[in-house]
Amino acid sequence: MAYSLRLTPPSPSITTSRHVDFDSSSGAMLSRMRNGQLRGFNSIRITYNPVIKASRDPFEMTQERTKESKSISIESDDGIDDPFVELKQRFLCFKENCMDNPVQYEKLSKAQEPKFMVIACADSRVCPSRVLGFTPGEAFTIRNVGNIVPPFQYGTSETNAALQFAVNTLEVSNILVVGHSQCGGIQALMSMEEDETNQGNFTKNWVSIAKSARLSTKAAAGHLNFEQQCRHCEKESLNGSLFNLLTYPWIEKRVVDGKLSIHGGYYNFIDCTFEKWSLVYRQNMQGGSKYGMKNHTFWS
């Protein structure tokens, strides 16, 4: 016989449920319940419901039905730490601030007109809105491992999908790519062997997009220790992402037309400093580099 376990949270105003299917023959789930390993719920209701259960033959399914219904209520242990309690308080504070400026949030509820498209790392220590003080509606943001922008030839990714929407639909006037110190993605890139194959390793497959930054780092800073090489590569990869932005025809056109600017930023959370610079692109440059940097500033 199979059971369905319904867990009902203690909210008086919102009712949600989760179902956990298990086989009664093992008794493992009930044992864990008795030992107090299922906590945080005011009641646990066990109901006998039809459950689809796979047979030994992968092309056949068997359905077990029960004839009666029972329920068991178990008191919860409210002493368990719930991380969402703090999140709830933060949300309520956020909501209170929204109520202080109803005109702004009424406008945001209808449309968004961000000035910035921000590409940042998924690292939990690097939150662009927190570090740079972006307010709701000000920055259209995408985060990935290593704040990498793949070239146009790479194909579809969530990063270039967000870029296309931000540039062509929202018509942002600035793209800011934010790198940071102690980047795990760059450490993974720098630790790769020359001929390493990364089949099945999603992280290394992704960061290998920036392998040219790794090569240039080895050439320029190969005499330094591994940590120093990583610091060098963090900025080298960041600039590579800025160059990759211009491989997208619709980004290049808006840059050439003077409607879009491309910027790099580097957040060092060890000493809490921020570097910012802008990319210069010379489309019809004869000789020399098409790319340059300007407005390099250091915030400390």
Tell whether residue 183 is among the known ligand binding residues: yes
Q: Is residue 55 a part of any domain in this protein?
A: no
Residue type, 154: Y
User: What's the mean per-residue pLDDT of the chain?
Assistant: 80
- Reported as half-sphere exposure (CB side, CA atoms, 13 A), residue 142 has a value of 19
72-92 residue pLDDT tens: 444 445 557 889 999 999 999
Tell whether residue 180 is among the known ligand binding residues: yes
136-154 residue pLDDT tens: 999 999 999 999 999 999 9
Q: What is the CATH number of the domain that holds 182?
A: 3.40.1050.10
How many domains, the chain? 1
Residue type, 260: L
Q: Is residue 35 a part of any domain in this protein?
A: no
Q: Is residue 43 a part of any domain in this protein?
A: no
pTM for the structure as a whole: 0.71
Find the mean pLDDT for residues 25-51: 45
Assigned token pair, 299: 């915030």
Residue 194 has pLDDT above 80, yes or no: no
β-pairing, 291-299 vs 273-281, is antiparallel
Q: Is residue 136 a part of any domain in this protein?
A: yes
Q: Is residue 236 a part of any domain in this protein?
A: yes
Strand segments (E) across the chain: 2-8, 18-23, 43-47, 51-54, 61-64, 116-121, 139-144, 174-180, 261-268, 273-281, 291-299
Angle in degrees, CA 17, 20, 5, rounded to 5 = 70
Q: How many CB atoms lie within 10 A of CB 246?
A: 20
Q: Which domain holds residue 233?
A: 112-299
